Amino acid sequence: MKKRTLLFLLIVICVSSSSVLAGSFFKFEGSELENTKDIIYANPVTPHPSPEARALLNYLYSIYGQKMLAGQMESIWVDGPDYELNYIKEHTGKLPAIRGLDFINEEDNDNVVQRAIDWWRRGGIPTIMWHWGAPTIGEGYEASKGTIDIEAALTPGTAEYKAMMADLDRIADHLQKLKEANVPIIWRPLHEHNGGWFWWSKGGPEQFNRLWRFMFNYFVNERGLNNLIWVLGYTSEADPAWYPGEEYVDLAGADTYDGGAEPRVRMFNSVRKVVGLNEPVVYHECGVMPDPELSKEQGVHWSWFMTWHTTWLTDNNPIDHIKDVYNSKFVLTLDELPNVMDYAGTGESTIARVSTMVEGAGVITKDPVANIVKKGTAVTFTAVPKEGWEFVEWGGVSTSTANPIELEVNENVGLFAKFVPVSGTNLLENGDFSDGLNHWSNYNFTDQGASASIDVIDGKCVVSIKTAGKERYHVQLIRPDISLKKGKKYQLSFDAYAQNQRKAYVKIGQQGGDYLEYFGETFSLSTAPKTFTRTFAMTEKSDNNSRLEFNVGLEGSNVYIDNVSISIVE
């Protein structure tokens, strides 16, 4: 967990509204401080950061928990590099605050540099990633998924090392141009590093961490690039084993392309468990823009989101949804950004941030409710369990079992509340699909000829299968984010039937990694609804992010599912 000291400065603004630039100052919701501009001073991991990089990181810390920045990844092959921006502008009248770029092809990298410079000078925030083709294999997306000996790449004198250094030199030269232009970059290399599909993720966490630190030391200490904000981008749940160290990472985040616009509470909190509760967390890539109102309601404070390009933007985000997001009072767009350089400098702390997180089902109330308070303020925290759950203990700055508790806030506070289910409580929210497809998603192995969609019709989830693929798992209905504890016995229950008689394989197991199976069985479905109930013991180590799968590929008959539950029986 981060131990960096954050410095806060409270600046009282005594100017008339006519003298304030539009968008430069705003009162943070959740702050008890009136008529103020709050600058939270961060400590960049780069020694002697550029004024612009320091100002940008200060700004990101300052709005964290209050506002979310809109971001959009660009493409260059549909209708030029402004295709996505023009699409958003056409339908909302606005542009994203953050523009995403990629050093994927050397022939375009000079243009990437220029677009980043232009975006910064326009008042926006540039972020650059790198689909790094595996050294010795080549460049481009497919090459980034190649396989090389990472140990050899980290060993001086090898062919892999020489090829890697040539790549790093080449990219450092481009970043140097941005430094000379006084442009800070949110630098997001080696993304989705725990996913297993890019070459940098295929050697395991230890090799990845060494590779990240090698790049950092070369760029920062040897090449003197002090204009970078280093962002670590997990895919799905964050894993602390894949963390290079707090001295090498400014910010961290996660991504997913599954499901709809839900805020992704568990994914958000998984990152916070790695970096701490008071560091901004980013939704560094997404297929669907998160619902800002729901995000605020659920306490999911993404620093920014960045929608992926081309059809991920146009086909997965209805126009009305894009309008709602870009016009939300919780979302900042290009026209609403301040002069980021107003956030430059360092300072002393007179205020502190109060952040909370829950494990299980419940909420934490605060009195006062502010996320930012003056130092010395006494704050009362109360843990309120959801029906069917009970409060166990606090974690973080307090390990008390008392409820409520009062703490005097003299530094940043990160407090956890742990709730556990009472026997018989359904661990699956929206198992009856009364809230549509919230918490549910589907996955089709399109490369294996599978195509299917899910919808809620007459209160049931319908998996409509167009082409069934070659295996059961080629069409999946998925319910992630299930917490299972070692030694506990659980009951799975669901109602199901099919358009025509068929089979379905139902599995509970790991969300990623080796996809270890905790329970699995093939069920025969008829055309008449039937309730299926099974009991299983969790014999593996506890897993706070397991998932339930209905694997319904191989046969073309549609499947109907309802009243899904997993509950503790002993």
Tell me how far apart the alpha carbons of residues 202 and 491 are, in angstroms, rounded to a whole number: 36
Tell me how far apart the alpha carbons of residues 69 and 281 are, in angstroms, rounded to a whole number: 12
Q: What is the 3-state secondary structure (H, E, C) of 412-459?
A: CEEEEEEEEECCCCECCCCCCCCCCCCCCEEEECHHHCEEEEEEEECC
295: its two tokens: 């995000």
246: its two tokens: 């707090």
pLDDT (tens, 9 = 90+) of the chain, 570 residues, equals: 444 444 433 333 333 232 222 233 333 344 444 334 568 889 999 999 999 999 999 999 999 988 999 999 999 999 999 999 999 999 999 999 999 999 999 999 999 999 999 999 999 999 999 999 999 999 999 999 999 999 999 999 999 999 999 999 999 999 999 999 999 999 999 999 999 999 999 999 999 999 999 999 999 999 999 999 999 999 988 999 999 999 999 999 999 997 789 899 889 999 999 999 999 999 999 999 999 999 998 889 999 999 999 999 999 999 999 999 999 999 999 999 999 999 998 887 677 889 999 988 899 999 999 888 888 999 999 999 999 999 999 999 999 999 999 999 998 899 999 998 888 899 999 999 999 998 898 999 988 999 999 999 999 999 999 999 999 999 999 998 898 999 999 999 999 999 999 999 999 999 877 789 999 999 999 999 999 999 999 999 999 889 999 999 999 999 999 999 999 997
- Candidates 74, 139, 192, 549; catalytic one: 192
Q: Can you tell me which residue has the tokens 């809109």?
A: 70
What is the pLDDT, as a whole number, of residue 37?
Answer: 58
What pTM was estimated for this model as a whole?
0.79
Half-sphere exposure (Cβ direction) of 251: Cα atoms closer than 13 Å: 28
Q: Are 419 and 398 in contact (CB under 8 A)?
A: no
Closest of 100, 61, 12 to residue 344, by C-alpha? 61
Q: What is the largest CA-CA distance in the chain?
A: 74
Tell me how far apart the alpha carbons of residues 391 and 195 are, in angstroms, rounded to a whole number: 34
What is the pLDDT, as a whole number, of residue 352?
Answer: 83
- Candidates 84, 160, 237, 285; catalytic one: 285
What angle is formed at CA 193 by the lines to CA 256 and CA 116, rounded to 5 degrees?
80
Radius of gyration of the chain (CA): 24
User: How long a stretch of residues is the chain?
Assistant: 570
Pairing of strands 460-468, 413-421: unpaired
255, 269, 481 from 266: Cα distances, Å: 12, 5, 7
Q: What is the domain partition of the chain in residue ranges? A: 48-341, 351-421, 441-568
Please name the residues in contact with 194: beta carbons below 8 A apart, sequence gap of 6 or more: 201, 205, 208, 234, 235, 236, 238, 239, 242, 512
Q: Are 466 and 452 in contact (CB under 8 A)?
A: yes
269 by DSSP, 3-state: which? helix
444: its two tokens: 């089709």
Tell me how far apart the alpha carbons of residues 527 and 325 are, in angstroms, rounded to a whole number: 41
| Amino acid identity, position 244 | P
Eight-state DSSP code of residue 27: P
In terms of CATH architecture, what is 48-341?
Answer: Alpha-Beta Barrel (3.20)
Q: Are 553 and 450 in contact (CB under 8 A)?
A: yes
What is the pLDDT, as a whole number, of residue 374?
Answer: 87
539 by DSSP, 3-state: which? coil
Q: Can you tell me which residue has the tokens 């919701």?
A: 29
Torsion of CA 325, 327, 330, 331, to 10 degrees: 70
Tell me how far apart the alpha carbons of residues 48 and 46 are, in angstroms, rounded to a whole number: 6
246 is catalytic: no
Please, what CATH class does the domain formed by 441-568 belong to?
Answer: mainly beta
3, 151, 191 from 132: Cα distances, Å: 31, 17, 10
160 is catalytic: no
